[in-house]
Chain A
Amino acid sequence: MVLNAREEILARLKSAPPASVAGRPELPPAREMALDAGQLAARFEEQLAAQGGIAMHAADETALLAKLEEILRQESVSRAMAATDAVLAPLALESWGQQVGIEIVTPSAFSDRDGYTRAVFDQVQAGITGADFAVAESGTLVLVHDELQPRLVSLAPLVHIAVVPRARIVPTYEAAILSLFDGRRPSQVTLITGPSMTADIQATPFKGMHGPQKLFVLLLG
């Protein structure tokens, strides 16, 4: 039965009269391709702001941690969950949190999935992640989800703070994403452009419909 449906559908499609494939128009390179590093960062920020995201700068790790503390205090966060991806791991946020008096937990602290799920849904007020890329053309963060970058950390808490080394800002989607699929298949890649938003009731826009109400992007370097 299952096999039959497949065979029948494909057979019908294949028996259809063939259509020719028309040529494709040449696209001039995206405007972002002509930008230098500083302009790319500016373009990223401008596009992110258009979607309600907030970008901030930190010259080094010390400045970054100061900014992070400022945001967490301003948002009244007493407990946050942090991924342990390549950007965040060197920052040792768990022990930093102990010093400043804000509890930082990591997904690996939970022995089972249910405990982690309950924590990320209900017991933390912010999620902190790195990002694999920031795309200037649309102000978009690219997160590759793997064992160090669980999906719900950037989604379930009301505040999402992403740390992005400036060298990871690229002009276009192609520059970010095509390489991620070169010889591997990440189970999920998420493009994040601003906080969760809706305007479904009376066209009244508001942030934080299901996911974060606020998105902070800390540009490092």
Chain B
Amino acid sequence: MKVTTDRFRQTALEELANARTQKFLQILPLRLSARRQEAYGSFSDPEAAHRLGQAIRGEALARLPELLETFERNALANGAKIFWAADSQAANRYIADLARSKGARYVTKGKSMITEELGLNDHLAQCGISAWETDLGEFIAQLLEKPPFHIVGPAINIPVEQIRDIFLEKGVLDQPTLDPVTLGRAARRFLRDKFRDLQMGITGVNIAVAETGTVINVENEGNIRFNKSAPKTLVCVMSLEKVVPTLADALHQLRVLCRSATGQAAGAYISLDSGPKKADETDGPEELHIVILDNGRSAIYQNRHTREALRCIRCGACLNACPVYGKVGGYPYGWAYSGPMGQVLTPALRGLAETGDLIRACTLCHRCKTICPAGIDHPGLLLHYRNKDVQADPLLQGRGADPRERLAHRLFALAGSRYTYWRIFSKVLSRAARLFGKGAMLRGLGPLGRGWFLSRDLPAPAKKSFHERWRQRKD
């Protein structure tokens, strides 16, 4: 997957002008938010349930190293194999070597953001192994080489004509049709052939349970269950923050995850795997490999601010709440994670060098923070990133402030330091505003501050300042 976080602005402008995108954005986030709200009503105390979910994630992070060791011990006792991957390369190499050693010509994948983060499909392709996405939305997005539009509906915005054409081109469909259900059935048949003869399946992990060494996946289609049941080798890739202390914690987190993601009390299928199949069992993997991925997470864990991004459970509720996502959709975020989730995760994982627009595409309205079942303070974290960016923080690869912006701030500080300076400054500014302003709003100052005014305006300053009017008062 191509990373296009540095093209946020251009992609956002394209998407703002895309009528189809706008149509979906007017419906999808609102509908999902309403469903979530309704689903939370089934809790005996929705607010307490929300806070318990947040507390579980908080405790999971606070106890992370200990929980990972416990998880590893129990998963090994269950008969799973554990591979600790320092980065994408290590994880990709391990998975490709495994596929090769099993003689797999192709693998299938359950929907997982983590393998998108790894760029696993591209790596496997380079090794001569095809990787098939099996979630319908991901399958379409993969064929069209598009990033996910929404975490819950990765290709929900794609016109049926485009799906028909790509399905015909790739041999998924025989007869042209524009019926979504017929298109879905064609994908079912195509992928069913892959599942039947599958050597190795790959899934992500929604929750890992320390006390039992169990990995849990949530889905609606059944493709993850096929990946976990049909082949003799199964690889589950988990980012290291997925672990929670107990099975009871996992059950509660499942409740908030399903409600937050799709407004369901439960996804159609939730599978809990503790080790490979037992010798006398008919199906299921003979080998279960669990890849624990770091990829920069242990580094951001050092900082108590950036660590907070690791609370995320990938439900997508923040996308539906976000006024910016609600206008631009998922593509501008340029990587596996979109919306506020992406705005806190992507800079933490990829640094600030190419994510400067991501951390600023936020009005600090706090809706994501309020709705987040994991307890992330997105706006606080974005302010932290902005600070690290202008400070040129080496760990996060901050770019440093623009010299012109720094100069503007210096001059502004100087102007505010003495009354006489301030009077001159406000006089000049108000003249300039009258010169460039049109009507009641100020939308630019000629050559000055073009970037600032690109997405902002100001009420035009009054002709006379308060102080001038005070001096001229008649009483």
Contacts and interface: CB of A to CB of B under 8 A. Distances in A.
Residue among B222, B267, B282 with most chain A CB within 10 A: B282
B270 A9 contact: no
B454 interface: no
A36 interface: no
Contacts of A27: 44-45, 48-49, 52
Contacts of B272: 177, 188-191
Given A116-B283, A151-B284, A200-B137, A210 B85 contact: no
Interface string B180-224: 110110011001100110000000000000001110000011110
Contact of B65 (A13, A195, A198): A13
Nearest to A14: B65
A9 B184 CA distance: 42
Nearest to B212: A181
Given A113-B282, A117-B283, A147-B282, A177 B251 contact: yes
Contact of B270 (A10, A47, A191): A191
Interface string B64-88: 1100110000000010000111100
Given A19-B61, A200-B155, A209 B221 contact: yes
B44 A30 contact: yes
A173 B192 CA distance: 31
B62 interface: yes
Contacts of A13: 64-65, 68, 240, 298, 301
A178 to B, nearest CB: 6
Given A178-B247, A203-B27, A150 B65 contact: no
B160 interface: yes
B71 to A, nearest CB: 12
A194 B258 CA distance: 14
Nearest to B254: A173
Nearest to A83: B282
B268 A188 contact: no
Contact of B222 (A28, A174, A210): A210
A187 B277 contact: yes
Contacts of A5: 84-86, 90, 294
Interface in B156-197: 156, 158-160, 163, 180-181, 183-184, 187-188, 191-192, 195-196
A177 B45 contact: no
B449 interface: no
B299 A152 contact: no
A210 B230 contact: no
B384 interface: no
A107 B343 CA distance: 49
B180 A150 contact: no
B281 interface: yes
A192 B191 CA distance: 21
Interface residues of B, number: 97
A176 to B, nearest CB: 9
A204 B181 contact: yes
B302 A208 contact: no
Contacts of A15: 302
B284 A145 contact: yes
A100 interface: no
Given A13-B65, A121-B196, A151 B225 contact: yes
A192 B218 CA distance: 10
Given A28-B48, A150-B281, A187-B278, A193 B266 contact: yes
A22 B284 contact: no
Interface residues of A, number: 80
A140 interface: yes
Contacts of B373: none
A218 interface: no
B28 interface: yes
Contacts of B443: none
A186 B280 CA distance: 13
Given A51-B264, A208-B188, A2 B83 contact: yes
A107 B229 contact: no
B256 to A, nearest CB: 12
Residue from A8, A19, A178 whose CB has the most chain B CB atoms within 10 Å? A19
A177 B48 CA distance: 22
Contacts of A10: 65, 68-69
B192 A210 contact: yes
Contacts of A147: 278, 280-282
A201 B163 contact: yes
Contact of A199 (B62, B153, B298): B153
Contact of A211 (B48, B221, B265): B221
Nearest to B58: A22
* Most chain B CB inside 10 Å of its own CB: which residue of A28, A117, A200: A200
Contacts of A189: 271-272
B87 to A, nearest CB: 9
B147 interface: no
Interface of B: 24, 27-28, 42-45, 48-49, 51-52, 55-56, 58-59, 61-65, 68-69, 78, 83-86, 90, 134-137, 140, 153-156, 158-160, 163, 180-181, 183-184, 187-188, 191-192, 195-196, 212-214, 220-223, 225-226, 228-230, 240, 247-248, 251, 254-255, 264-278, 280-284, 292, 294, 298-299, 301-302, 304, 307
Leading 8 A-B pairs by shortest Cβ distance? A211-B222, A200-B137, A151-B229, A138-B265, A12-B298, A201-B180, A13-B65, A6-B84
Given A25-B55, A146-B278, A193-B269, 14 more contacts: A5-B84, A18-B62, A19-B307, A147-B280, A151-B283, A177-B272, A191-B271, A196-B221, A198-B137, A201-B180, A202-B156, A202-B160, A206-B184, A211-B269
15 contacts: A8-B298, A9-B84, A10-B69, A12-B301, A21-B58, A107-B282, A155-B229, A174-B248, A190-B269, A196-B269, A197-B268, A200-B140, A200-B184, A201-B156, A201-B163
Interface of A: 2, 5-6, 8-10, 12-31, 47, 50-51, 107-108, 113, 116-118, 121-122, 137-140, 145-147, 150-152, 155-156, 173-174, 177-178, 181, 185-204, 206, 208-212
